[in-house]
Amino acid sequence: MEQYINEVIRPKIQGDGGEITFDSQDGDTVTVIMQGECSKCLILDRCIAWIESQIENDLGEKVTIHAIRKKPFFWDT
Amino acid sequence: MAHIEVVRRSMRPEEYTDLRFGWLKRHIYEDKTEITSFRIREARQTAEMQFEFYDAEPRSLRRGDLYFTPDGTAFIEADAVIPEKYIGKEIRFVLKTAAEMIVKVNGKYVGGIDPNRENLLLSPYLDSDTIHIEITAYNRSKPDDERNPESLSVRGCRQIFEGGYLAVVNDDVQSLVYDMELLLNIAKSDCSPEDYRQLINRELAHAMDLLDFDDLRNDDVKAASDYIEKHIFADQRYGGCGNVALVAHSHLDIAYYWRRIHAVQKNLRTVLIQMRLMDRYPDFRYAHTQAYTYETVEKYYPELFEELKEKIKNGQFEPVGAMYVEPDCNVPSAESLIRQCLYGQMFYRKKFGITVDTCWLPDVFGNSWILPQILKKSGVTYFVSNKMSTWNDTNRFPHNNFIWKGIDGTEIFACVPPTHFISWNMPDQIQKNWDAFQDKDTGTETLQMFGYGDGGSGVTEEMIELMHRFDKISVMPKTRHVTAHEFLSENFTDDKKLPVWDGELYLEMHRGTFTTKSEIKRWNRQLEYKFRNAEILSVCRLLRGEDYPADELRELYKKLLINQFHDILPGSHITPVCRDAIADYEEINQSLDSILNESGNTYFNTLNFTRNSLTFIENENGCVCRLGKKGFYAVPNLPGLSSGKIEKTTEEYTWLSVRDTVETPFYSIKLNPDGSICQILDKQLNRSWIKGNFNKLVLYYDYPGNYDAWDILPDYRNKQESLTITETCHLTYQDNETAEFTTVLRTEKSVWKMILRVFRQSRAIEVEHDVDWHEKHRLTKVEFSPDILTRELLCDTSAGFIKREMTKNTTWQQARFEVCHHKWFDLSETGGGVAVINNGKYGVGISDDSVSLSLLRSTIRPDPTSDMGHHAFSYLIVPHTGDAVAAGINRLAFEYNVPLLRADENLNFPVNGLYLQSLKLSEDENYIVARLSEQNGARGCLTGIGPFTLMDLLETPQRETDFYAFQPFEIITIGFQVKNTEKQTHSDIFLTKR
């Protein structure tokens, strides 16, 4: 899972100025850290749903992504 | 009477007008027919015009469906029949989206749609009542959307499809909407006269009263328009003043929040939209920069390139820019900037038969003082660059229309427009421009650029429609829509008494871009000189009758130039852009290695002077490890452009003593445990060089805010992070030429190894850094406080040096607390000084009586991973007698940056007083071209090399001569005709025996 998120999902997220890093997996819950543009995205939930569908499609695992936004200090108002 | 704040609970008349304006806009489309046959294939772009598809087959796309993926491209298709009721009417395709779309209908490129425009005109391009729509769409969730507030709400990687329609616009409603757009902008602007704003508010309310929004009738719409015409537009009693030239353009970052591979479509969409506007509005003129972008149109969209050529020929589409891309103008070397012009102008000449006379760099982060000469000698008469007026954080740049005097005295007409280069042609923007214009007394117009940009897009129909109404507004400055050339040629003539700015165009902002993305800067420097060596060696082989790899070198050079774009080389970009740049550098490096094809044990000195400084010679049997390579130090003693053997010293020398001090033939040195130096007693000059911190590594807290990658704030020195010493500075290596002292420092996250080298045969002290860097928001500098009384810092520009004031008396001096330099900086007083020579660093901090070389940053926006990982770099500290010129610092800096080549070559090219920047085959292959630069600020004569052809930087012959008196800091290009014999291609001068 960590490798998949880092190697398959991450470059795509980075392509939109975002950043995703694998944090942990607890059963079917995968926690990721979202930075860059993702950290303030108003419609991040849509993207998270897409990542879940990609994981199911590519790894055959049905997981729930728990996304933690880590905003840079200058957006953390 | 006390002021009482009145809180209105009812609607003000102006708010009611706004509300009704919104209602009116709902009637723009007379009729809409939804297209229900959309199909989509989601993809991700992997290279230029190459895509990885998520779906094997298209899926249907219905209103309300999600579409697009992170970093996604989508291919969308639909078929539809034109409704009979639309026959004979102007039909539009409507699709509201946050994405950028190139639209083809029935095989023809009909236009583009993006967040700035939701429809395009179909009628002129239809030849059938059935239509097949093909859309290439790149999703766009980028920060520049903030300039268009309406698009903010639709930003994000996954979009909701809002449907696509065929529609007919109600022209009367649309026209009234444009009138109101224009007038409401003035009414809400503080720049407009109060009485005229009152007139607008009062009369627009009356005009709206003529409309019944429950049953909007066309006659009422016309009546409202007539009312506005009669009661507002016809009223000329309110006077305005000013002269503003409106030039349409679109700023296109080749890479920024997107990769270079996406710029192909971004550019095409922009160009296509502007060409379609030209079809509809014959008076519309548009300026477009960057030869590279034209190349991509030619390569991937040849049919549109032909159309583009026609529009250039008829004067509607105006190539500007002169350069290959819009490069950063701080970090690239003189030769790189020359190549930007050479390859840019070559393209324009070859494809369009024109030499572009306007350098158009609206967004660059300051401009080097060497530019006027380079531009003037590259066919450029006018220079345009915006940021100094709108972004300076301390001082207001005093001119907008002026003459810029370069380092060598060359003068060029320059325009720094008073306001931002991205505007949407609104009256308040135009008024602000005129109000801010500082050269009113010259009688010239001010330049207002308009068109959406950063990611392209450009002008909209609305901007043109509004522009056509400006003459009706009596309070507005007088405007005219012109080409860039018309504005510049008509306003910059000798009789205008234009003010002169003699100095660099320093931008008082974005000072971090000299340092951010250290690896990119290192590669850029290394490859600039590798190209130099590859071309010189290729000329040597050409003279022996071998082929010169002209095409390969040109294409590789262009790749380097693309990566000098002003959001790539400065480091202000997202993660994949950096990855792409490094991949390009590695590819260029490998290709240049193949061209160089070094072999043997003979070394070729490509410099045009004797290399007599101690040099690191790579050798797998060497015992010194420097920057990851094994080798040894030796003095080459190789005359310029000649070859010879370089042997490692075998004699034993007792030259070093290490006790409390390090005793070398030159110095008595005391090292601190952290690798900084607390004493350098000069045995030859009998003096001390150090007053305070010297070679002191300091990690500063670096929190500039939103413009993280770009900026360093003036108070960055307020707070430091402490470094822990894990290995105290100690002797780790010694041989006949050098001794190394190593220290290891660390923070919680990073490890910093520093190696100091002292030498038997050199006054220089080399410092090598090997860093495992994992900080956030830190700026590392190495500080120098030499015991030198000076108020000037000399900085290399790569083609001459600039003197910068170190005092902080004025705000201009205070603002220059971080500046850009190239290979060296120097602090000197009468009798001696200290120079620091680097091999890939550019930022220098100036504070009080110390200077600092900026080494590494760790910013998080736009790239959260910026600069993380391993770094290795080095520099020389050179205490010297005399000033920098007398001490030959330029020579030393060339020797430190230009590697010796393993090749057995000899050229006879005895040029004194000038530095050989490049030696190449001319682009027309008729000349061997030598580029020479005067870099010491001295006059001299170029003679003794027989007859030669003086050329401009575009390699156009000017005149034949055998003598040329050159000026301080002059860049000279000379050519030697190539003789083609049956077996050999040669130029006599280079073959003459020594």
Joined tokens for residue B519: 């690896």
Cβ–Cβ of B70/A36 closer than 8 Å? no
Token couple for B623? 């015992």
Q: Which regions of B863-913 does DSSP assign to beta strands (E)? A: 869-881, 901-902
Q: How far apart are CA B514 and CA B528, in angstroms?
A: 17
- Give the distance from residue B568's alpha carbon to the nearest chain A alpha carbon, in angstroms: 14
Region of residue B293 (left: phi > 0; alpha: psi -120 to 50; beta: else): alpha
> Kind and range of the H or E element at B25?
helix B13-25
Dump pLDDT digits (tens) for B411-421: 999 999 999 99
CB contact under 8 A, B703 and A73: yes
Given a cut of 90, is residue B702 above it in pLDDT? yes
Closest of B517, B520, B554 to residue B534, by C-alpha: B554
Q: Report the distance separating Cα B434 and Cα B475, nearest Å.
A: 12
Task: Write out the two tokens for B912.
Answer: 């004194």
Which strand (E) or helix (H) includes residue B846?
A: strand B843-847
Percent of chain B scored above 90 by pLDDT? 93
Residue B864 to residue A36, Cβ atoms within 8 A:
yes
Q: What was the pLDDT predicted at B719?
A: 97
Q: What is the DSSP letter of A42?
A: T
> Domain limits at A38?
2-72
Q: Is B408 on the interface with A (CB under 8 A)?
A: no
Inter-chain contact B143–A17, Cβ cutoff 8 Å?
yes
Min CA distance, B815 vs chain A (Å)?
Answer: 23
For the stretch B224-250, pLDDT in tens is 999 999 999 999 999 899 999 999 999
Residues of B in contact with A52 (CB under 8 A): none
CB contacts, 8 Å: A16 with chain B: 70-71, 139, 141, 157, 257
Distance of CA B535 to the CA centre of its chain: 25
CA distance linking residue B563 with residue B462, whole number of Å? 35
Does position B8 have pLDDT exceeding 70, yes or no?
no
B157 closest CB neighbour out of A16, A19, A73: A16
A15/B contact by beta carbon, under 8 A: yes
Amino acid at B5: E
Beta-bridge mates of residue B429: none
Chain A: closest CA distance from residue B300 (Å): 23
Work out the burial of residue B628: count CB atoms within 10 Å of its CB; fewer than 13 is exposed, 13-18 middle, 19 or more buried.
exposed
Taking CB atoms and an 8 Å limit, are A42 and B576 in contact across chains? no
- Does A35 map to a domain? yes
Instruction: Count Cβ atoms below 10 Å from residue B457 Cβ, excluding itself.
Output: 27
Greatest alpha-carbon span in chain A: 39
* Nearest CB to B158; choose among A9, A36, A46: A46
**B678, B671 Cβ separation under 8 angstroms:** yes
- β-bridge mates for residue B617, sequence order: B632
The answer to whether B574 contacts A46, with C-beta atoms less than 8 Å apart, is no
Report yes or no: B415 and B383 within 8 Å, Cβ to Cβ: yes
Q: What are phi and psi of B120, to 5 degrees?
A: -140, 155
- Please judge whether B865 and A13 are an interchain contact, meaning their C-beta atoms are less than 8 angstroms apart: no
Please answer whether residues B296 and B263 qualify as being in contact, where contact means their C-beta atoms are separated by less than 8 angstroms.
yes
In whole angstroms, what is the distance from residue B704 CA to residue B707 CA? Answer: 7
Instruction: Indicate which CATH number applies to the domain containing A62.
Output: 3.30.300.130
Task: Tell me if A53 is assigned to some domain.
Answer: yes
- Report the C-alpha gap between B385 and B418 in whole angstroms: 10
Measured between CA atoms, the residue of chain B closest to residue A15 is B71
pLDDT average, residue stretch A6-31: 96
Within 8 A of B139 by CB-CB distance, chain A residues are 16
Best B67, B100, B575, B710 residue to mutate vs chain A (most A CBs within 10 Å): B575
Q: Which of B156, B706, B864 sits opposite A42 (nearest CB)?
A: B156
**Helices and strands per DSSP (H, E), number in chain A:** 3, 3
Strand order in the sheet with B91-95: B29-35, B164-169, B91-95, B119-121
pLDDT tens digit string along B444-494? 999 999 999 999 999 999 999 999 999 999 999 999 999 999 999 999 987
Q: Would strands B765-773 and B687-688 be described as parallel, antiparallel, or unpaired?
A: unpaired
Question: Is the Cβ pair A14, B574 closer than 8 Å?
Answer: yes
pLDDT value at B355 more than 50: yes
Q: Which of B604, B709, B12, B884 is nearest to B328 (CA)?
A: B709
For residues B56 and B66, what is the distance between their CA atoms, to the nearest angstrom? 18
- Residues in B 30-59 with any Cβ partner in A closer than 8 A: 44
Show the 3-state SS of B116-152: CECEEECHHHCCCCEEEEEEEEECCCCHHHHHCHHHH
Q: How many helices (H) and strands (E) does chain B have?
A: 20, 56
Q: Does A14 touch chain B (CB under 8 A)?
A: yes
Question: Comparing C-alpha atoms, which of B538, B552, B549 is closest to residue B606?
Answer: B538
> Across chain B, what does the average pLDDT equal?
95
Round to whole Å and give the CA distance between B319 and B360.
10
Q: Does A32 fall in a domain?
A: yes
pLDDT at position B148: 62
Per residue in B967-983, pLDDT tens?
999 999 999 999 776 55
Element (DSSP H or E) covering residue B450: strand B446-450
Q: How far apart are CA B114 and CA B93, in angstroms?
A: 13
pLDDT band with cut points at 50, 70 and 90 for residue B546: very high
What residues contact B768, with CB distance under 8 A and at least 6 apart? Answer: B626, B627, B754, B755, B757, B872, B873, B874
Q: Can you tell me the mean pLDDT for B760-764?
A: 97
Residue pair B295/B352 in contact (Cβ under 8 Å)? The answer is no
Choose, out of B145, B151, B157, B262, the residue to mutate when testing the contact with A (most A CBs < 10 Å).
B157
Model pTM score: 0.97
Note whether B986 contacts A: Cβ–Cβ < 8 A.
no
- CB-nearest to A16 from B70, B153, B863 is B70
Contact B155 A42 (CB under 8 A): yes
Range 18-57 of A in CB contact (< 8 A) with B: 18-19, 35-37, 41-44, 46-47, 49-50
Q: Are B285 and B482 in contact (CB under 8 A)?
A: yes
Q: Which run of H or E residues covers position B927?
A: strand B927-933
Residues in B closer than 8 angstroms to A50, CB to CB, are 66, 69-70, 157-158
Per-residue model confidence as pLDDT tens digits over B313-328: 999 999 999 999 999 9
Nearest to B158 among A14, A18, A47 (CB): A47
ipTM, interface predicted TM-score of the complex: 0.97
Among B156, B259, B703, the residue with its CB nearest the CB of A15 is: B259
Residue B740 token pair? 């190394």
State how far residue B100 is from chain A, nearest Cα, in angstroms: 14
**In 3D, which of B61, B59, B63, B58 has the Cα closest to residue B32?**
B63
- Say which residue the tokens 């129909």 belong to: B461
* pLDDT range class, residue B994, cuts 50, 70, 90: very low
B158 touches chain A (CB under 8 A): yes
The answer to whether A77 faces chain B, any CB pair under 8 Å, is no
The answer to whether A74 contacts chain B (CB < 8 Å) is yes
> How many domains does chain A fold into?
1
Q: CB distance A15–B70 less than 8 Å?
A: yes
For B855, the token pair is 């080494």
Q: What are the CA-CA distances from residue B828 to residues B486, B789, B803, B938 (Å)?
A: 48, 8, 11, 18
Chain A residue nearest residue B139, CA to CA? A16
Q: Which residue has the tokens 């959307």?
A: B145
Q: Nearest CA to B407 among B435, B370, B375?
A: B370
Q: Give the Cα-Cα-Cα angle B719, B697, B796 (nearest 5 degrees).
A: 105
Instruction: Confirm or reject contact between B703 and chain A (CB < 8 A).
Output: yes
Q: Answer whether B953's CB lies under 8 Å from B377's CB.
A: yes
Q: Which two tokens stand for residue B697?
A: 């590594």
The pLDDT confidence band at residue B140, using thresholds 50, 70 and 90, is confident
Please indicate, yes or no, if residue A77 is contained in any of the structural domains.
no
What residues of chain B lie within 8 A of the CB of A43, using their CB? 155-158
Taking only the tens place, the pLDDT of each residue in B505-525 is 999 999 999 999 999 999 999
Rounded distance, CA A45 to CA B66, Å? Answer: 12
For residue B71, which residues of chain A lie inside 8 Å, CB to CB?
Answer: 11-16
| A15 closest CB neighbour out of B143, B576, B863 | B576
B578 at the A interface (CB within 8 A)?
Answer: no
Q: Between A13, A42, A72, which is nearest B70 by CB?
A: A13
- In what helix (H) or strand (E) does residue B171 lie, and over which residues does it extend? helix B171-187
Beta pairing partners, B972: B932
Give yes or no for A12 touching B (CB within 8 A). yes
CA–CA separation, B40 and B676 (whole Å):
62
Pairwise CB contact (< 8 Å): B861 & A36: yes
Neighbours of B377 (CB within 10 A): 21
CB contact under 8 A, A41 and B44: no
**Is B864 in contact with A12 (Cβ distance < 8 A)?**
no
Compute the distance between CA of residue A77 and CA of residue B536 in angstroms, rounded to an integer.
56
Give the pLDDT of residue B849. 76
CA B824, B830, B667 angle in degrees (round to 5)?
70
- Report residue B303 as tokens: 């049919």
Report the run of H or E that residue B110 belongs to, with start and end: strand B108-113
Pairwise CA distance, residues B463 & B453, whole Å? 14
The β-bridge relationship of strands B478-481 and B243-248 is parallel
- Partner-chain contact A73 B864, CB within 8 Å: no
pLDDT average, residue stretch B608-634:
96
Those residues whose C-beta lies under 8 Å from the C-beta of residue B146, and which sit 6 or more positions away, are B152
Please tell me which of the candidates A12, A42, A74 has its beta carbon nearest to residue B69: A12
Q: What is the mean pLDDT of residues B257-286?
A: 97
B643 in Cβ contact with B540 (< 8 Å): no
Distance in angstroms (rounded) separating the CA atoms of residues B422 and B454: 8
**Percentage of chain B with pLDDT > 70?**
97
How many contacts, defined by CB atoms under 8 Å, are there between A and B?
A: 85
pLDDT score for B981 = 61
Strand order in the sheet with B602-604: B643-645, B602-604, B901-902
CA–CA gap between residue B651 and residue B667 (Å, rounded): 22
**Residue type present at position A73:** F
For residue B793, pLDDT over 60 is answered with yes
